[in-house]
Structure 1
């Protein structure tokens, strides 16, 4: 299922988000709930929750009927933590 979710993100959702300088990545899939993280301009956008509801959730549920819900990951991503560690270790 995770590969199918990634395919929908890459083929249907991210082309839309890229028009605004952002993208979405799969964080996890558990109990038919998809957790995504917005990246780029979408990561700090004040309309992120609306984009999640009106675009990401609708398209994922249309393509993959097994999905019951879509939520946004909270917190800092691994990539940013790695960058911070490198800076602090200098």
Structure 2
């Protein structure tokens, strides 16, 4: 099982950039396979660039700090 505190820490690193654009991200869960579930909030939830933000920003930040992450997926 991946360390949830490390995932939260990685999200805290990227959070200021999201907040600056009127958005945010909420950590939901991580499963035994390494799939991280997050919820995009605020402006990020309906943004046309949400997929790019998720993959190039949020997922990258988590993978840099937390080995073993297989994917990061946004839920509604």
TM-score by length of 1: 0.76
Matches within 5 A, 1:1-90: 1-10=3-12, 12-30=13-31, 31-74=33-76
Could you list the runs of 5+ residues in structure 2 that have no partner in the other structure?
none
Moved over 4 A (4+): none
SS of the equivalent of 1:36 reads strand
Q: Which is greater in Rg?
A: 1
Q: 1:73, 1:59 → 2: CA distance? A: 18
Higher RCO by CA contacts (8 Å cutoff, separation 6 or greater): 2
Query: How far apart are 1:27 and its partner, in Å?
Result: 1.1
Could you list the runs of 5+ residues in structure 1 that have no partner in the other structure?
75-90
CA RMSD of aligned residues (A): 1.0
* Number of aligned residues: 73
